């Protein structure tokens, strides 16, 4: 089983800028943790990041028929992107929305997600653990 992890804008700067807000863990550190868990679970993962909305849309489209699930941290596009929402619906690949921070404990504009209604579920606020829980959630069958 293959699970695709997609990371959106600015997440390439994790651990490198504003550590007081986002901590010192880098996206590469998160990938290591995800791969460790995936190996234990016997799941294969692909881990990608882009600052470009259209690139994320393309990757979601291309996941159809290849990946069993997507774990998506769309970053700020979460709150703005109808394109990502439409791509998730069009691809039909079960998608789990994840966030490092608890978006509901932050600014009002982060409380709304354009993609949550078309995702299987949302995991927010657990740091690296959000990604690990996301992996578990992505391979759960049924509703
Ligand atoms: O909590 C999350 O995972 C977010 O998706 C992170 C996004 C934010 O826009 C979402 O509302 C919640 C921001 C990622 C930005 O990461 C940075 C890392 C270092 C320095 C600046 C930004």
- Give the residue extent of every domain in the chain: 2-76+83-142
- 22 in catalytic set: yes
> What dihedral angle (degrees, nearest 10) is formed by the CA atoms of 10, 90, 113, 125?
-60
Contact indicator for 100, 71 with CB cutoff of 8 Å:
no
**Which tens digit of pLDDT belongs to each residue from 33-82?**
999 999 999 999 999 999 999 999 999 999 999 999 999 999 999 999 99
Could you tell me what percent of the chain has a pLDDT over 90?
92
Active site annotation includes 77: no
Q: How far apart are CA 95 and CA 60, in angstroms?
A: 9
- Between CA 143 and CA 78 the distance in angstroms is 22
Average pLDDT over residues 2-22: 93
Kind plus residue range of the DSSP H or E element containing 99: strand 95-99
Q: What would the pLDDT profile of 79-105 be if each residue is shown by its tens digit?
A: 999 999 999 999 999 999 999 999 999
pTM of the model: 0.97
Ligand 1, closest atom to CA 98?
3
Pocket test for ligand 1, best of 25, 51, 101 (most atoms within 8 A of CB): 101
Residues with CB under 6 A from ligand 1: 10-11, 13-14, 17-18, 22, 73, 75-76, 78, 99-101, 103, 110
How far away, in angstroms, is 100 Cα from ligand 1 center?
8
On whether the CB atoms of residues 97 and 78 are closer than 8 A, the answer is yes
Just give the CATH number of 2-76+83-142.
3.40.50.9100
The secondary structure of 1-36 as a DSSP string is -EEEEEE-TTGGGTTTS-HHHH-S--HHHHHHHHHH
Name the burial class of residue 141, with classes exposed (0-12), middle (13-18) and buried (19+) by CB atoms within 10 angstroms of its CB: exposed
143 confidence band (pLDDT: 50, 70, 90): very low
37 CA → ligand 1 middle, Å: 23
């Amino acid at each position: 089983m293959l699970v695709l992890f997609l990371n959106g804008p600015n997440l390439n700067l994790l651990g490198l800028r504003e550590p007081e807000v986002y901590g010192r863990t880098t996206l590469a550190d998160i990938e290591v943790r995800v791969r460790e868990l995936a190996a234990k679970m016997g799941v294969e993962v692909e881990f990608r990041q882009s600052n470009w909305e259209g690139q994320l849309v393309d990757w979601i489209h291309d996941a159809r028929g290849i990946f069993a699930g997507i774990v998506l941290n769309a970053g700020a596009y979460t709150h703005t992107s109808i394109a990502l929402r439409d791509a998730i619906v069009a691809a039909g690949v079960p998608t789990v929305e994840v966030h490092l921070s608890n978006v509901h404990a932050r600014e009002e504009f982060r409380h709304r997600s354009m993609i949550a209604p078309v995702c299987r579920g949302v995991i927010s606020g657990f740091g690296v653990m959000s990604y690990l829980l996301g992996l578990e959630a992505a391979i759960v069958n049924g509703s």
